[in-house]
Amino acid sequence: MKIPYLQKANAAFLDRHVTRASDLIQEWGGESFSGVGIIGAPLSKSSISHSGACFAPGTIRKAFSAFSTYSIEENIDLASCMIRDLGDIAMHVTDVLQSQNRVYETIFRVFEENPLWLPIVLGGDNSITYPSVKGFSKAKGKVGVIQFDAHHDVRNFQDGGPTNGTPFRSLIETGTISGNHLIQIGIRDFSNSKPYFDYVNNKGVTVYTMKDVRQKKMVDIMRKSLDKLKDEVDSIYVSVDMDVVDQSQAPGCPAIGPGGMDTQDLFEAVSYLGEQSIVEGLEIVEVDPTVDFRDMTSRVAAHVILHFLKGKRKSVEI
C-alpha cells in the first residue's frame, strides 16, 4: 500500500536536476568491490585534550548532502561516480588500544577481501593514522605519507601512550613507513617543539612550514613531494589533519590557532594529489563537531574529499 505524500522520515528536499554529493554514497552490502569506499573511525578517547572527533564521521557524511557533485571550475561532474559507505569501525568503550587495533584489523581485512579499495578514512583523532596506515601498507607494500598538519605528531610514548600526538612516531619507529617517505606540510610556528623538529629531521622527514606554504606555490610543493616519493614507494596515503587550516576557516578542531593554511591551498593540493594514480588513500582527522560553528569544519572536510575525487576523476573512472 502506498500513501501519497508519505516519505521516509527526515527526507531532504529533492531537485530532479541536482545530484547531491550524498547521492553518490551507497551503503555497502558486503559484496566484493573496487574503488572509493568511505569508512569511519570514530575514536577520540585517544586524544590528549578533550575531543569529540568521534562524531566527525557522522557530520562529514551529513555535510555531503549540502553540496553537489559538479565542479564548475573544471567542468567535471562526479554524478556517475559511486562511493561505497562501509560504515564505522565499532570502538571499544574503555579499551583505547583495542579500539586502535580494530582500526588496523578492519582496514586490513577490507583490503584482504577487496584489494582495489580506495579508502577514505574519516577520523576520529589523529591516533587512527598509525593503525590506518599500518593496514594500508600491509595491503600496498612500501607506503609514503603526505601529511597536512600544523603539528609533527611525533611525541614520545611515555607521556600517555599512543595518542593523537604520536601517530607518525609510531609509523616511523615500527618501520611501517620510513621517515624519508613522510612529508609534512603546514607545520606551524609556536605549535611544535624543537626536540620534535630535530626528531623528524633526523629521521629524514621532509617538512614544509607555513612559511614555505605562504612563499611557494602549493602546486610546486605538491609536484616536488610527488617527485620525491613516486619512485621510492608503492603507494601514497594522504593524511589531512584539519587543524592545518587557519582557525578562522576551520574553527572546529581541538588544537586551533592563527597562522594556518587557507582552504583554497588545501583544496588545490588534494585535487592535485587525487590526480596521481599512486595516491591510493585519504584520511581526514581532528574535526571535532562539538566545538565547531555550523559544521563549518565538516563542510571543509567534505570539500577536501570532493576535490580529491575531482582529481581522481581526471585520470581514472571512479
In the window 137-156, what residues touch Ca ion (CB under 5 A)? 149-151, 153
Site string for Ca ion, 28-67 (x = CB under 5 A): ----------------------------------------
How far apart CA 147 and CA 244 sit, in angstroms, is 10
**Angle at alpha carbon of residue 220, lines to 216 and 223, rounded to 5°:** 150
User: Is 259 near a second copy (CB under 8 A)?
Assistant: yes
User: Is 243 near Ca ion (CB under 5 A)?
Assistant: yes
Nearest-approach distance from CB 316 to a second copy, in angstroms: 19
User: What string of DSSP letters covers 15-71?
Assistant: -TT--BGGGGEEE--S----EEEEEEE---TT-SS---GGGHHHHHHHHHTTSBSEE
- Interface stretch with a second copy, choices 154-162, 216-224, 228-236, 278-286 (CB under 8 A): 154-162
User: Is 240 near a second copy (CB under 8 A)?
Assistant: no
Q: Which of 115, 141, 204, 258 binds a second copy (CB under 8 A)?
A: 258
150 vs 300 by CB, closer to Ca ion: 150
Interaction residues for Ca ion, span 108-137 (CB under 5 A) = 126
Nearest-approach distance from CB 74 to a second copy, in angstroms: 8
Q: Which of 119, 124, 131, 165 binds a second copy (CB under 8 A)?
A: 165
How far apart CA 43 and CA 91 sit, in angstroms, is 7
Interaction residues for a second copy, span 79-138 (CB under 8 A) = 79, 85-90, 92-97, 102, 105-106, 109-110, 113
The grid cell for 34 is 573496487
Nearest-approach distance from CB 152 to Ca ion, in angstroms: 8
Q: Which of 24, 56, 57, 84 binds a second copy (CB under 8 A)?
A: 57
How far apart CA 205 and CA 94 sit, in angstroms, is 34
Burial class of 33 by CB neighbour count within 10 A (0 to 12, 13 to 18, 19+): middle
Nearest-approach distance from CB 46 to a second copy, in angstroms: 6
User: Is 158 near a second copy (CB under 8 A)?
Assistant: yes
- Interface stretch with a second copy, choices 160-168, 170-178, 222-230, 235-243 (CB under 8 A): 160-168
- Around Cβ 111, how many Cβ atoms within 10 Å? 17
Q: Which of 119, 131, 144, 162 binds a second copy (CB under 8 A)?
A: 162
Cα distances (angstroms) measured from residue 118 to each of 168, 265, 274, 304: 21, 23, 11, 15
Interaction residues for a second copy, span 60-79 (CB under 8 A) = 61, 66-75, 77, 79
CA nearest neighbour of 253 among 302, 289, 303: 289
Under 8 Å between Cβ of 43 and 33? no
User: Is 209 near a second copy (CB under 8 A)?
Assistant: yes
Local structure of residue 242 (DSSP, 8 states): G
User: Is 17 near a second copy (CB under 8 A)?
Assistant: yes
- Say which amino acid occupies 268: E
The grid cell for 306 is 570532493
